[in-house]
Structure 1
Amino acid sequence: MRFHIHTFGCQMNAGDSRWLARALRARGWEEVESDQAAAHVINTCSVRAKPEEKVASLAGRLAPVVRRNDPERGFVAVGGCVAQQKGAWFLERFPHVRLVFGADGLAGAPGAMQRVADDPAERLSLLDFADGFLSRPAYWEGERVPPQAFVTIMQGCDNYCAYCIVPYVRGRQKSRPSAEILAECRELAAKGAREITLLGQNVNAYGLDPEGDGTGFAGLLRAVTAIPGVDRLRFTTSHPKDLSDEVVAAFGELNNLAPNLHLPMQAGSDRVLRRMGRRYDTARYLSLVEGLRAARPDITLSTDLIVGFPGETEEEFQQTLDLVAHVGFESSFSFKYNDRPGVAAERMEGKVPEEIKADRLARLQALQDELTEASYAARVGAEADVLFEGASRKPDPDGGVSWMGRDPWGRVVNMPSENGTDLTGSIARVTIIEAKKHSLSAKPAGSPW
């Protein structure tokens, strides 16, 4: 059967979608463009309201597509966080939605999709939370392994930050057995993956839950970096309260641990952080930044930020601006606060008017643009080792083929190749020749281009 997966949200969702696609291809299904597919999967995100609204809109628009491509068996499956939150609503609202599954239902989704495809009258719901991490085959056999691969190490979160819906839609934290993680990483490296990213809602807490097998996150990092063929290791996402001294030290001790870290700050006001339930203050956050830069002076940091949290004053927002400038984040993901159903902040007083949130977000993003521009401009003339992932989406201005990769700090680098040589999967020394808004342009190091 021909299928297409629409993915919203975080890297965890992207990794889940890639796994589901491999699992369906292993069953003989064919992955095609959206307008050609009879089976559509919408992998959803409910961290913010806008993606949730997009999901409902997309589900409605897909009805004529599935009817046209397979009037009898065509269907839509809705998975992920919004499905966990509103699964029954999708089944009631859209007759062509015949499967809903949450994060813990993902392992059973390929089989459920086969059942739905085989029986047009079948409608299924996989929304129960599991007691432990549900293992699943990697399905790499016969698949081309990309140069950069993603490995899930845990599921769920135990932090219950006041604004966050993740624990309610992904469940409590469950760590994956370390032996399974290492086996998958070894398989990926043997098949040609040169960079691995470890994924979890809070990777720093890996192994601290009852599902842990005695391996902590720092120990896992050391074990993965020791695997032959793993040239780079990254991980996301981190919670500052769980970032241990051992993990900080690892940045200075493990040469193939990439020198960049996404460390969500969320706000620069201690009062706002307390109301958010983050369980750290700005002094703790800055001490982590100091430790990271002492361990690895060239490390770059990115972050998440929320503006307009209930009760946030202009002075407190200014504290966020000051801290962002002080840390000098190379990039950030910033959002206006919005209520999510059932979380503590939904019931808080002092909601900030929309126009004030919009103004604060614009000012924050303008500051971040300045920081990013300065950081990227400082790279011009420098050399870096770039792992090329494939052809660039933007054509080479001279009519040749341009290739896209990332430097050790995670920046996107585009470079044409001599004689059109395919650079996919190679690591090449380059010289940065131009800084753009969100990427760098390069030439081969030592080249007269």
Structure 2
Amino acid sequence: MTKNLTDPKIVTFGCRLNTYESEVMRQHAREAGLSDTIIFNTCAVTTEAERQARQSIRKARRTNPDAKIIVTGCAAQINPDLYADMAEVDHVMGNEEKLKRESFDLTPEARVAVNDIMEAKETAAHLVHGFEEHTRAFVQIQQGCNHRCTFCIIPFGRGNNRSVPIGAITEQVRTLVNNGVKEVVLTGVDITDYGLDLPGKPTLGQMTRRLLAQVPELKRLRLSSLDPVEIDDDTYRLFGEEPRIMPHLHISLQAGDDMVLKRMKRRHLRQDVVDMVVKARELRPDVVFGADIIAGFPTETDDMFENTYRLVEELGLTYLHVFPYSERPGTPAAKMPQVPGNLRKERAARLRDAGQSAENLFMQSRIGTTSQVLIEKNGFGRTEHYAPVQVEALEGDLSGQVVPAYIADIRDGKLLAYPLGTDAANVAREKLSSQ
């Protein structure tokens, strides 16, 4: 079946930074007058992410034979020839090119436009007015990474660390808030390195404090993935003082065994993660943590894996993003002795089960409490702690609004809640108190 396209369609894979950049591209494509166009913003973190992108590209061509197909993102930046050789693809853009308005004035001569990302020295500000497919807004504060973890290909897709000036970040957030956005997520590749390349070297915490002071109307702010040993004192202080920063931190953990962490060339060791969690809980006792973990990294023994598993349990990490190790050609880890694929999957499954158990316990603890829920769609939303919640008995479409709600139960893996002050909330409260 052929589908008729008019407005450019963006298909986004991977990280929150890609989500932000997809909105930039949407604006550029519209300004260029592109129609019947599908833009694939790819990810290169795992081989599976790349496989899914190629599969989606082929499917899009079958269902939209007359559409222009543009492929960009990290996978296209790292291996442009692979996508240029696909018969389904019309144009390939690099990660720097996709953010330039002129790149979308498509010409046959510029079918492949991918420059050396390592030559990029700054990150230009791009004013996004809203996010069409998301209630919360993602705002880029930096780009690239100066570090070379042995498993990671992303620096070759993103380049080195480049920070967005504080004034541009403030302008972006103020624009979003003026357009009705209630929650913003500060995102990048390595946000704890924010400011190292800027005059005066402002820290992540200093920038965030200034942002919140200059945009007092912003209701909620989240920080994306944090390197546990690189969090600056300003960020810790602000986290303890500022209630608008949500009590949910995501840790770039990767492993809980010191030898594995050293072979990964991570900047932290196991104790650094423990210290970070303890310090954050001292500042905000109700904080919950998420973490990225790689299962089955090369040379990981059973004992090494158990160290990671125990750390998850000991720290009570609530939201886990677990990935079986995926070889990335050209990385040092790909040349190390590999853990069998079936064992990687088994370890990943155990970690996911542990994460699900922790999340279930946390959600049980929320029953009988109240939360401020950011409604996303059809009554579904997220609490301050990022717990999924279904709010019943809402009057009208409150998507994008923050609703005070009473947590009454758990249903289908989500908290069940009712707006405070409603008859439904009062009945639920009375029912719980009588049990």
Does residue 3 of structure 2 align to residue 5 of structure 1? no
CA contact (8 A) 2:24 2:99 kept: no
CA contact (8 A) 2:248 2:385 kept: yes
Residue 404 (structure 2) aligns with: 429
SS at match of 2:407: strand
Residue 124 (structure 2) aligns with: 135
1:61 Cα deviation (Å)?
2.8
Residue 102 (structure 2) aligns with: 111
Does residue 301 of structure 2 align to residue 310 of structure 1? no
Q: Pick the aligned partner of 1:52 from 50, 53, 59.
A: 50
CA contact (8 A) 1:417 1:423 kept: no
| CA distance 1:433–1:339, shift in 2 (3 Å) | same
1:27 Cα deviation (Å)?
4.1
Q: Aligned ranges for residues 235-274 of structure 1 at < 5 Å?
A: 235-274=223-262
Aligned residues: 417
Amino acid in the other structure paired with 1:198: L
Matches of 1:315 and 1:151, distance apart in 2: 40
Q: Percent identity?
A: 29
Residue 22 (structure 1) aligns with: 27
Matches of 1:212 and 1:105, distance apart in 2: 26
CA contact (8 A) 1:204 1:243 kept: yes
Does residue 184 of structure 2 align to residue 191 of structure 1? no
CA contact (8 A) 2:123 2:163 kept: no
Amino acid in the other structure paired with 2:47: A
SS at match of 1:97: coil
1:175 Cα deviation (Å)?
0.6
1:6 Cα deviation (Å)?
1.3
| CA distance 1:432–1:212, shift in 2 (3 Å) | farther
1:28 Cα deviation (Å)?
4.5
| CA distance 1:26–1:262, shift in 2 (3 Å) | same
Q: Pick the aligned partner of 1:221 from 208, 212, 216.
A: 208
SS at match of 1:43: strand
Q: Aligned ranges for residues 208-357 of structure 1 at < 5 Å?
A: 208=196, 210-211=197-198, 214-226=201-213, 227-349=215-337, 351-357=338-344
1:180 Cα deviation (Å)?
0.7
1:139 Cα deviation (Å)?
4.7
1:426 Cα deviation (Å)?
2.5
Q: Pick the aligned partner of 1:440 from 394, 415, 430.
A: 415
Matches of 2:15 and 2:139, distance apart in 1: 14
SS at match of 1:157: coil
Matches of 1:212 and 1:104, distance apart in 2: 23
Amino acid in the other structure paired with 1:328: G
Does residue 397 of structure 2 align to residue 405 of structure 1? no
Q: Pick the aligned partner of 1:102 from 94, 97, 118.
A: 94
Amino acid in the other structure paired with 1:251: F
CA contact (8 A) 2:203 2:234 kept: no
Q: Pick the aligned partner of 1:387 from 374, 378, 401.
A: 374
Matches of 1:8 and 1:146, distance apart in 2: 14
* Greater displacement, 20-29 / 97-106: 20-29
Q: Aligned ranges for residues 151-190 of structure 1 at < 5 Å?
A: 151-190=139-178
| CA distance 1:230–1:123, shift in 2 (3 Å) | same
| CA distance 1:173–1:122, shift in 2 (3 Å) | closer
Residue 432 (structure 2) aligns with: none
Does residue 38 of structure 2 align to residue 40 of structure 1? yes
Deviations 1:153-190 (A, max 9, x none): 11111111111111111111111111111111122222
SS at match of 1:221: helix
Does residue 52 of structure 2 align to residue 77 of structure 1? no
Matches of 1:278 and 1:203, distance apart in 2: 15
Residue 427 (structure 2) aligns with: none
CA contact (8 A) 1:334 1:365 kept: yes
| CA distance 1:215–1:434, shift in 2 (3 Å) | same
Q: Pick the aligned partner of 1:64 from 55, 62, 65.
A: 62
Matches of 1:233 and 1:334, distance apart in 2: 25
Residue 397 (structure 1) aligns with: none
| CA distance 1:166–1:436, shift in 2 (3 Å) | farther
SS at match of 1:115: coil
1:211 Cα deviation (Å)?
4.2
1:128 Cα deviation (Å)?
3.0
SS at match of 2:292: strand
Matches of 1:60 and 1:144, distance apart in 2: 25
SS at match of 1:265: strand
1:62 Cα deviation (Å)?
2.9
Amino acid in the other structure paired with 1:222: R
Matches of 1:40 and 1:439, distance apart in 2: 33
| CA distance 1:137–1:64, shift in 2 (3 Å) | same
Matches of 1:287 and 1:357, distance apart in 2: 28
Amino acid in the other structure paired with 2:37: A
Matches of 2:123 and 2:91, distance apart in 1: 19
| CA distance 1:434–1:236, shift in 2 (3 Å) | same
Amino acid in the other structure paired with 1:194: K
SS at match of 2:121: coil
SS at match of 1:62: helix
SS at match of 2:372: strand
Amino acid in the other structure paired with 1:218: G
1:235 Cα deviation (Å)?
1.5
Deviations 1:205-252 (A, max 9, x none): 1001x3455321111110122212111111212112211222122211
Matches of 1:369 and 1:387, distance apart in 2: 22
Q: What is the TM-score of this pair, normalised by structure 2?
A: 0.90
* Greater displacement, 125-134 / 193-202: 125-134
